[in-house]
Chains A and B, each alone.
Chain A
């Protein structure tokens, strides 16, 4: 079975440019999470969806960040305009709401560098 798929794996862009990160969750999973990992702040939640509905976006740094989940098999995280401090690894993870243990399975991450 395919795991969580993220694209691109690496992104280098210049300050001010728009960046779009993509995620395909594991088929059948109905919760999707976006996390960001930096050396300074560790792993932190940005936003999560249950059944395609955004539940909590309080972790989104500011209005420059937005996320959508138009259907059960696709989500995007957009940064516009990007800034150097957005440089980080962005992970998408999915889980099954009805699962007793609710393990989240992570994609390989997108390593973003904003120059």
Chain B
């Protein structure tokens, strides 16, 4: 059974600083995908970044990067130069297989608060 663990219920970061949100996963499938989503207070789920299990390089999308350590089964999200608008819930998720036809399993989320 697959499982996603986010151990930080809440995090604080100073504006313009970098922050790392932790995520560990568990799966026996050699092919899988890891995702991060942002949920602001308005409630929508916004896709941020994706990392495939066979990807050799860490994924990056603008200020977001994913620190993928396959042996440790961790997929931490790094947000650089934090902005007030980054304050939100962040969810790590995983799907098994290598296509878009299987569901995601989500972690419990981390609430990030950016302080001015």
Contacts and interface: CB of A to CB of B under 8 A. Distances in A.
Contacts of B102: 102
Interface residues of A, number: 29
Name the prevailing secondary structure of the B interface residues: loop
Interface string B9-39: 0000000000000000000000001010100
Contacts of B107: 42
Interface stretch (B41-49, B70-78, B79-87): B41-49
B103 interface: yes
Interface in A44-101: 44-45, 48, 50, 55-56, 89, 91, 93, 95-101
A50 B95 CA distance: 15
Report the contact-size class of chain B (Cβ under 8 Å from the partner). 20 to 34
B106 A98 contact: no
Name the prevailing secondary structure of the A interface residues: strand
A46 B70 CA distance: 29
A46 to B, nearest CB: 10
Contacts of A31: 100-101
Contacts of A43: 91, 106
A104 to B, nearest CB: 6
A33 B50 contact: no
A99 B33 CA distance: 12
B104 interface: yes
B100 A103 contact: yes
A95 B50 CA distance: 13
Contacts of B47: 103-106
Contacts of B91: 43
Contacts of B106: 42-44
A99 B103 contact: no
A12 to B, nearest CB: 16
Contacts of A98: 99-100
B45 A97 contact: no
Contacts of A50: 101
Contacts of B35: 103-104
A99 B43 contact: no
